């Protein structure tokens, strides 16, 4: 591949990856720490209704950014020039957490749940998401040092 095309593609895929994961994890942090307290101020029947509407509204964007994050991540991985010692182990741990995030996000958006259950799921996704961001920063450090 032409080096200029490869460079442009690399930057675009990095942008897609970062923009997708910011939207995905940021959405769940918002759901747990901003939306949930707002919904808690409503009477129970309205809370469940409004929570359901919020989940339905987030669903298409959630699936879009999840697929974009996985696709761009696969591109980033398959185009890495070399893998320093320790990289594969941390990448494997990242993939296990990504699996948890993806499975939980899909269940969050398709399963009929109570608002309390949704809040727990959103918190677990936010925690795993922040751990994945930390591991990714370490992977980058390993690649650059």
Distance of closest approach, residue 58 Cβ to ligand HEM, in angstroms: 15
> C-alpha angle 63/98/141, rounded to 5°?
120
Residues 1-30 that bind ligand HEM (CB under 6 A): 14, 17-18, 21, 24-25
Q: Closest separation between CB of residue 114 and ligand HEM, Å?
A: 25
Q: Which region among 27-35, 54-62, 112-120, 130-138 touches ligand HEM (by CB under 6 A)?
A: 130-138
Given candidates 8, 38, 61, 74, which one binds ligand HEM under the rule CB under 6 A?
74
What does the alpha-carbon distance between residue 90 and residue 83 come to, in Å, rounded to a whole number? 11
- Is residue 35 at the binding interface for ligand HEM, with CB under 6 A as the rule? no
Residue 33 is a binding residue for ligand HEM (CB under 6 A): no
**Residues 6 or more apart whose Cβ sits within 8 Å of residue 10:** 79
Give the number of other Cβ atoms within 10 Å of residue 77's Cβ. Answer: 12
Residue with tokens 């923009």: 19
Q: CA angle, corner 115, sides to 44 and 39, nearest 5?
A: 60
Q: Where are the beta strands (DSSP E) in the chain?
A: none
Nearest one of 53, 42, 31, 57 to 120, comparing CA atoms: 31
Binding segment for ligand HEM (CB under 6 A), chosen from 2-10, 31-39, 46-54, 66-74, is 66-74
Residue number of the CB atom closest to ligand HEM:
73
Contact between 98 and ligand HEM per CB under 6 A: yes
Q: Which residues bind ligand HEM (CB under 6 A)?
A: 14, 17-18, 21, 24-25, 69-70, 73-74, 76-77, 98, 101, 129, 132-133, 136, 139-140, 143
């Amino acid at each position: 591949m032409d080096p200029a095309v490869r460079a442009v593609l690399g930057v675009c895929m990095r942008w897609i990856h970062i923009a997708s994961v910011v939207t995905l994890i940021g959405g769940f942090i918002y759901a747990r720490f901003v939306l949930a307290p707002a919904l808690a101020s409503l009477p129970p029947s309205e809370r469940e209704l409004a929570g359901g509407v919020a989940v339905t509204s987030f669903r298409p964007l959630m699936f879009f950014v999840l697929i974009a994050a996985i696709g761009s991540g696969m591109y980033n991985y398959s185009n890495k020039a070399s893998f320093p010692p320790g990289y594969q182990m941390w990448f494997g741990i990242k993939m296990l957490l990504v699996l948890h995030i993806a499975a939980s996000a899909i269940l969050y958006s398709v399963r009929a749940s109570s608002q309390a259950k949704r809040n727990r799921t959103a918190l677990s996704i936010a925690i795993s998401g922040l751990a994945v961001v930390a591991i990714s920063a370490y992977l980058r450090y390993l690649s650059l040092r």
